[in-house]
Amino acid sequence: MNQAMLVAKNLGRRKLRTFLMLVAIFIAFFLYGALECFNRAFHSSENAASAERLVTVNRINFTMPLPVNYAGRVQQVPGVRAVTYQSWFGGYYKDQREPLFMMAVDPATYLAVYPSVQMPAEQRRAWLANRTGLAVGKTTAAKYGWKVGDRIPISSNVYMKKDGGRAWEFDVSAVFSDPDDSAREGLVLMGHDYFDETVTFGRDQVNMIVFSTSSTKQNDAIAKAVDALFANSEAETTTDTAAAFNRAFAAQFGNIALIITLVVATAFAAILMIVGNTMVMSVRERTREIGVLKTLGFRSSTILGQILAESLLLAVVGAVLGLGAADGVILVAGKFLQGFGSNLQMTAAVFLGGVGWAVLLGLVTGAVPAWSGMRLQIATALGRR
């Protein structure tokens, strides 16, 4: 009978109790896994945004317009590599309550600033050539079942057409993916020329200018130079890294990270109480046995190791099952939450982080009973009932 068997026997002696402890641990790690993955997906654009990309918006607020000619002036600033501009279109397809993440962009420069946006060469050519062409991210294309060659009507809840109509006709020219930032795969991109020639207001104005630089080290200096260029003009600007811009935008929804941390901490506190106390009780019940083992010559350190192994095994098995279940659930949830795309997935960091917490949980819940088991005097142990 080896050590591992003793550990297994101890866990198996009260199967219901072991099962209930596993359920509690499972739940806590399921919550940790699912919420942590959600949190990372929610903040993914802050990390995915290439560090060398900068965003220039109107100083008053990013919903305020900038003249389109600012893009050309930004291009002149030393250290700026590629410049593009975009405007929020406020588009929706049939159902107004389901807005599209739709921007009017300048296709050629857009692709230069976002080199990770990928589409087949012939689709790329088609999108660049067709004024009414649309490039659709693959998540959104899949959601609405749009295919290259489809002609679709899209309405805007912000803009009106000059001819009085509400629906713009588009040709789906391209379906794109973005391996660096899969949240981008939820976007719909129309041409800014088509936008300018059809809207009743907002012509030759853009919401934001995005550009890449030749070296991230110069970013601060370049941002200052861009803002200085437009200081005291009709539309003053503020320039920041894309990561910082996205972080500020995400923060507008509230401190999601704090809420998730609190919920996960609460769940962990609960299982710490439950599992910790159950382990203490379970070892107390075995007092006489531990006495017998010691009488047989088992060392105190072996007893300590066995009890710790028991709590560790329990915590790690429960955690791995919980993280596995979280993986399954978020995979399904990702299909329904537009805008998250394939960002919502179990990452190695979340999984390993969970296993790390499980080891800590196992050590903490096993510490008190293991210590008292180790310190137990044989005479006391055999006398205690």
Residues that bind other proteins (CB under 8 A): 16-17, 20-21, 23-24, 26-28, 30-31, 58-61, 63-64, 90, 96, 157-158, 160, 166, 232, 234-236, 247-248, 251-255, 263, 266-267, 269-271, 273-274, 276-278, 280-281
Please give the Cα distance from 79 to 214 (Å, whole number). Answer: 6
Q: Which is nearer to other proteins, 2 or 96 (CB)?
A: 96
For residue 200, report the phi and psi dihedrals to the nearest 5 degrees: -80, -25
CB 194 within 8 A of CB 132: yes
Q: What is the DSSP string of 339-366?
A: TTGGG-S--HHHHHHHHHHHHHHHHHHH
In the bound complex, what is the minimum distance in angstroms from residue 117's beta carbon to other proteins? 26
Q: Which is nearer to other proteins, 133 or 322 (CB)?
A: 322
Within the chain, residue ranges assigned H as helices are: 3-12, 15-42, 44-48, 70-75, 107-113, 121-129, 138-144, 192-198, 219-229, 242-251, 256-285, 287-295, 300-336, 348-375, 378-383
In the bound complex, what is the minimum distance in angstroms from residue 222's beta carbon to other proteins? 20
CB 283 within 8 A of CB 369: yes
CA quadruple 338, 140, 327, 26: dihedral, nearest 10: 20
In the bound complex, what is the minimum distance in angstroms from residue 121's beta carbon to other proteins? 38
Q: Which is nearer to other proteins, 228 or 248 (CB)?
A: 248
Q: Which is nearer to other proteins, 60 or 108 (CB)?
A: 60
In the bound complex, what is the minimum distance in angstroms from residue 30's beta carbon to other proteins? 7
Q: Which is nearer to other proteins, 276 or 373 (CB)?
A: 276
In the bound complex, what is the minimum distance in angstroms from residue 61's beta carbon to other proteins? 5
